[in-house]
Amino acid sequence: MPAVRPACEVREVIQELRERIQRIERRPVRSDRVVASGWVEVDGLLGGGFPRGALAEIVGTPGSGKTALALSAAARATAEGALAAFVDARGELYAPAAAALGVDLERLLIVRPPAPAVRGSARARELAPAVRDALWAAEALLGSGAFAVVAVDAPLAAGARAGAGGASAEAMLRRLQGAAEKGGAAGLWLGEPGSCRAPAAVRLEVAAGAEGPVVRRGGPDTGAYVDVA
């Protein structure tokens, strides 16, 4: 027969549980649904920032400012004590610029496959080993649950395959989306015009403007754009 607790003891337990719940509710929610980009106008376009647990595609030419946008989001994440990762299949990320944009370099993991993909390989029909490694690493990082932001820069042509009979680029990008959902990270896919489109929740198009990058929310139904000078 179970022991019956006196009423006063039960009240104390309930009160303690109430207080505990209140404490939990007062905690800052670290896994907010978005990661701010740090560019006020872009955050306005996105409804607060890049969605967590999803892939966002940022498309632009090499000098458009898309990398700076991704690094700015990484800067916001690292400033809040979270970790960010940059998968750099081309081997071109310049860390001093990341630091200048406010990224805490000690909290930014740079992943660089042994043989970086050469510039221009975004049109290759077969994925270079570096791109395959980069996609694998991106999936691991996005799904790990350890990173708030994972930016991925890998040249990927539409219809490219990982070897004969291998997975298509589109299928591999879908896996990234799934990994982001699993790990709760904001995945930022950096694409170039004409490269493979990611199955992203958000698509931003970045272009170099006279006064700085011009960012447009992509997709056929949205015509909003902002000038981030």
Binding site for other proteins (CB under 8 A): 30, 60-68, 71, 80-83, 90-101, 104-114, 116, 119, 133, 136-137, 140-141, 144-146, 207-208, 210
CB-based contact 186:150 (threshold 8 Å): yes
Judged by beta carbon, residue 174 or residue 182, the one nearer other proteins is 182
| C-alpha gyration radius of the chain | 21
Rounded to a whole number of angstroms, the minimum distance from the CB of residue 190 to other proteins is 8
Amino acid at residue number 131: V
Judged by beta carbon, residue 158 or residue 208, the one nearer other proteins is 208
Judged by beta carbon, residue 5 or residue 123, the one nearer other proteins is 123
Q: Are strands 50-51 and 202-209 parallel, antiparallel or unpaired?
A: unpaired
DSSP state of 116: P
Judged by beta carbon, residue 14 or residue 97, the one nearer other proteins is 97
Rounded to a whole number of angstroms, the minimum distance from the CB of residue 10 to other proteins is 25
Rounded to a whole number of angstroms, the minimum distance from the CB of residue 76 to other proteins is 14
Q: How far is CA 168 from the centre of its chain?
A: 21
Rounded to a whole number of angstroms, the minimum distance from the CB of residue 111 to other proteins is 5
Whole-angstrom distance, CA of residue 138 vs CA of residue 187: 9
DSSP state of 20: H
